[in-house]
Amino acid sequence: MACDFCDDVFAECADAVFMDAWLPNYSSDWRGHSIMLIRNSDLSSLFSSNDECYLQSIGINQVVRSQLGVLDDKRGNMSLRYNLALDAGSKPPPRRDHLWRAPFQLGRRQVVTAQWNIARRSPHLWSEANGSYELFLKAVGLLRTEMGRAKQRMASAHYFNSMLRRLLGG
């Protein structure tokens, strides 16, 4: 449950952070690429002197752009996950609301709720399936269908959502 409430995408206190390079110029390469954000000069020297790594510097704006999907999920959906946890009787950790503001988006709550349900019910469904992957997939199928429908509704409201964001200044 801790990951549901962590908005620290860039591991702000860590000496180094490793993340997927979700940028157009890297995502099409089948070999894969990672982004390293290094805040420690000793670690930077260690990686720079390693002949097995190909290193290329990119700007911090590109690093942030590469993680926009994660930022949107972690920070944009935090308030919804927080309220779902409270409704379920959990006591989530304190939030850092001052760091983010979620844009209004029709359907967002339904998608986050469906993701929440899958994450919470999957362990129980796996246990009930007694290790049978086929039975598990069948049991979780309804939850996945619910999430798919929620995503379709949100996608179909894309134009309306963008108009609302412009009107609301979000």
- DSSP result, 86-104: HHTT--PPPP-GGG--PPP
pLDDT over 70 (residue 170): no
Residue predicted with more confidence, 8 or 89: 89
pLDDT over 60 (residue 167): yes
pLDDT over 60 (residue 72): yes
pLDDT tens sequence across 10-63: 888 899 999 988 888 887 888 888 899 999 999 988 888 888 888 888 999 999
Contacts of residue 125, defined as CB under 8 A and 6 or more positions apart, other chains included, come to 136, 139, 140
pLDDT tens sequence across 143-160: 889 888 888 888 887 777
pLDDT tens sequence across 78-116: 888 888 889 999 888 877 766 656 656 677 788 888 888
At 59, is the secondary structure helix, strand, or coil?
coil
Q: What integer pLDDT is reported at residue 98 of this predicted model?
A: 63
Confidence band (pLDDT; 50, 70, 90) for 128? very high
Run of H or E residues at 30: none
The rounded distance, in Å, linking the Cα atoms of 21 and 56 is: 12
* Residue among 45, 39, 41 at smallest CA distance from 14: 39
Q: What integer pLDDT is reported at residue 155 of this predicted model?
A: 80
Neighbours of 149 (CB within 10 A): 14
Q: What integer pLDDT is reported at residue 100 of this predicted model?
A: 59
